[in-house]
């Protein structure tokens, strides 16, 4: 027994689940990297830049103090040193505010000792500045200037140097953060390429598997179709052989018996007086036997017309169409084009059965009072058409897809002859049944 082809649905669903899981994991990884990048930019770069702005503010204030102390040492101004105190007080307020904000924005990785050193040095500077202004207030401008020269300028220079070092550290931290960000970008980009490559590989192998599965499935279907065709060929052959045998039996056996009975009844009838009651009864029996004989012959012809074997397809059609008209009351217009070549019995019986089934369907379903039968012989082929202007076949009127046994049989016969069969609905309405079969030597066997 041939092994059935397994459905690829389970494996495809498993592959889909793995693919979706991979997409989910990669999406989670990418989102985590992006969030880390956002945190790094917010926590390090943005904070570092804001801290650098405060350090630049402090540096600017220290530079202004340095310029002020140089002006105080030059003595070019007409007013005493005590007059500089309001400017120093204003700068002290701004420096204290800048130092407070800078302490809040200082990078996490900065050594706390540097922050304490900066705050302590600035406090020492203001202490020295206060002592200088006290000396100047007591009239000691020369001593006050000496304090500026020996103490305040050195402290201001040290503060400026400390702030510059902090700015350099912030710049180094920013460069390190930029390198880390670039690394994250490169890592994400690399992983995206890896993920895309993996997805392309998965798609490639999935496509190969689909092609392989579909090929196996189509091969299986082709084998089933071949088996079905073989079975249909055998069934139709057996059917034709059975009908042919029954037709011959009816014609030869039953026909001869009924003919003999009729002859015997005729001889018995002649030996009796014509007006006797028994003679009348024999005459009635003989008429019944004769009617039965006619029905038996008609049934034999319908099963397998002997004229098909003796006169060929065209003679059989010429005989069958008047019989159909008589049985159904439907007028048949027969149109023939060209002279048909010698057609083998194999082709003739199938074409005849298609014509017979098409006209029977027409009589059952169309309701048309007229049928048109066309038989044409283009080079190397045979075309048969049966057309009506009735209501059409049931599957055409109702849109159903289910086909009857007769329709299936007609298609099977067309396939056995390597031909084509189609049922059309003309624009004028009704139904058109069309059969086209080759008449080459390859199929005439």
Instruction: Please report, for the domain that includes residue 399, its CATH number.
Output: 3.30.565.10
Q: Cα dist. 224→196, 220, 221, 230 in Å?
A: 41, 6, 5, 10
Q: Is residue 332 part of a domain?
A: yes
Does 189 lie in the same domain as 331?
no
Does 349 lie in the same domain as 204?
no
pLDDT, one tens digit for every residue, the chain (445 residues): 445 556 667 776 777 777 778 777 777 777 776 776 666 666 677 777 888 888 898 889 889 888 888 888 876 666 777 888 888 889 889 988 988 888 888 777 777 887 888 888 889 889 988 888 888 888 787 888 888 888 888 888 888 888 888 888 888 877 777 777 777 777 777 878 887 888 888 888 888 887 887 888 788 888 887 777 677 777 777 766 676 667 666 666 666 777 777 777 777 777 777 677 777 777 778 778 778 877 776 676 666 677 777 778 888 888 888 988 888 889 999 988 877 777 887 788 888 889 888 888 888 888 888 999 999 888 888 999 999 888 765 554 444 434 567 788 888 888 888 889 999 888 778 899 999 998 874 344 4
For position 115, which CATH number holds?
Answer: 1.20.120.1730
Q: Is residue 347 part of a domain?
A: yes
Look at residues 221, 242, 228, 238 and name the one whose alpha carbon lies nearest to residue 412.
228
Does 311 lie in the same domain as 182?
no
Place of tokens 């990078």: 107
Token pair, residue 257, equals: 């018996």
The count of domains in the chain is: 2
Does 206 lie in the same domain as 310?
no
- The CA distance from 228 to 224, in Å, is 6
Q: Are 54 and 100 in contact (CB under 8 A)?
A: no
For residue 25, what pLDDT is reported? 77
Residue at a domain's end among 161, 176, 210: 210
Does 311 lie in the same domain as 204?
no
Query: Could you tell me the residue range of the domain that residue 79 belongs to?
Result: 9-210
Does 76 lie in the same domain as 186?
yes
Does 172 lie in the same domain as 312?
no
Q: Is residue 155 part of a domain?
A: yes
Residue at a domain's end among 170, 186, 210: 210
Q: Is residue 229 part of a domain?
A: no
- The CA distance from 412 to 369, in Å, is 29
Does 190 lie in the same domain as 74?
yes
Q: Cα dist. 322→243, 301, 316, 329 in Å?
A: 22, 13, 11, 10
- The CA distance from 292 to 66, in Å, is 142
Q: Is residue 274 part of a domain?
A: no
Q: Cα dist. 241→62, 216, 238, 246, 249 in Å?
A: 120, 37, 5, 9, 12
Does 310 lie in the same domain as 206?
no
Q: Is residue 251 part of a domain?
A: no
- The CA distance from 169 to 50, in Å, is 14
For residue 337, the cross-strand partners are 376
Does 199 lie in the same domain as 323?
no
* Alpha-carbon torsion, ordered 59, 60, 61, 67, to 10 deg: 110
Does 163 lie in the same domain as 15?
yes
Does 326 lie in the same domain as 203?
no
Q: Is residue 279 part of a domain?
A: no
Residue at a domain's end among 182, 210, 238: 210
Q: Is residue 50 part of a domain?
A: yes
């Amino acid at each position: 027994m041939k092994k059935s082809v397994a459905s690829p649905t389970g494996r495809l669903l498993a592959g889909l689940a793995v693919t979706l899981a991979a997409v989910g994991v990669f999406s989670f990884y990418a989102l985590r990297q992006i969030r880390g990048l956002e945190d790094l930019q917010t926590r390090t770069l943005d904070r570092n830049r804001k801290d650098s702005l405060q350090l630049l503010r402090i540096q600017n204030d220290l530079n202004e103090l340095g310029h002020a102390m140089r002006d105080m040492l030059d003595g070019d101004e007409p007013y005493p040193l005590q007059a500089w105190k309001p400017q120093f007080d204003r700068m002290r307020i701004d420096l204290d505010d800048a130092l407070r904000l800078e302490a809040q924005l200082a990078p996490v990785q900065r050594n706390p000792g540097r922050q304490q050193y900066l705050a302590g040095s600035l406090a020492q500077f203001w202490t020295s500045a206060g002592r200088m202004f006290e000396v100047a207030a007591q009239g000691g401008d020369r001593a006050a200037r000496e304090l500026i020269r020996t103490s305040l300028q050195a402290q201001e220079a040290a503060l400026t140097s400390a702030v510059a070092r902090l700015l350099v550290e912030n710049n180094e931290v920013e460069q390190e953060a930029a390198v880390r960000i670039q690394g994250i970008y490169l890592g994400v980009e690399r992983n995206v390429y890896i993920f895309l490559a993996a997805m392309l590989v998965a798609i490639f192998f999935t496509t190969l598997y689909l092609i392989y599965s579909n090929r196996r499935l189509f091969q299986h279907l082709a084998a089933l179709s071949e088996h079905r065709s073989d079975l249909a060929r055998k069934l139709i052959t057996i059917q034709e052989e059975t009908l042919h045998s029954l037709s011959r039996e009816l014609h030869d056996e039953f026909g001869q018996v009924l003919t003999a009975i009729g002859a015997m009844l005729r001889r018995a009838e002649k030996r009796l007086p014509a007006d006797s009651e028994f003679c009348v009864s024999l005459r009635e029996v003989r008429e019944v036997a004769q009617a039965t004989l006619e029905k038996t012959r008609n049934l034999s012809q319908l099963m397998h017309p002997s004229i098909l074997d003796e006169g060929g397809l065209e003679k059989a059609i010429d005989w069958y169409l008047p019989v159909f008209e008589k049985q159904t009351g439907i007028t048949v217009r027969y149109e023939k084009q060209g002279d048909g070549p010698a057609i083998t019995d194999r082709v003739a019986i199938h074409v005849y059965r298609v014509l017979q089934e098409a006209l029977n369907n027409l009589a059952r379903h169309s309701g048309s009072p007229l049928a048109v039968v066309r038989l044409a012989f283009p080079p190397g082929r045979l075309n048969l058409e049966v057309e009506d202007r009735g209501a059409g076949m049931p599957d055409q009127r109702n849109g159903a897809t289910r086909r009857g046994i007769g329709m299936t049989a007609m298609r099977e016969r067309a396939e056995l002859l390597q031909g084509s069969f189609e049922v059309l609905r003309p624009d004028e309405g009704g139904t058109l049944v069309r059969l086209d079969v080759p008449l080459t030597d390859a199929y005439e066997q």
